Amino acid sequence: MPGLALPNHDAANNGFSYPRSTEQTCGQKSRAQLSPDDELSAKESLALYCKPLELYNIIRQRAIEKPPSLQRCLRYKIEAKRKKR
């Protein structure tokens, strides 16, 4: 908002330091802490999540490029009705 002073990030830190780079946040440290069973279940969960997401993206892209036939038929009927008037 105009007129409000922005806080100084160094002063607002209060002794806590947060990682700045993506290597520190998504690095090998977090992966090394997982047990093999946890890592396997994480991979399985990700695979279960990605399959429907990929299918959804394919269907969405196809619907954008080629509208369903029912939608085209209805649009044709509406336009034909307007032309009759």
- Is the pTM value of this prediction over 0.75? no
- What is the predicted pLDDT for the residue at 76? 81
pLDDT per residue as tens digits for the range 20-60: 544 444 444 555 688 888 899 998 988 888 888 899 999 99
Phi–psi pair at 68, nearest 5 degrees: -60, 155
Q: Which residue has the higher pLDDT, 16 or 62?
A: 62
Q: d(Cα 46, Cα 38) in Å, to the nearest integer?
A: 12
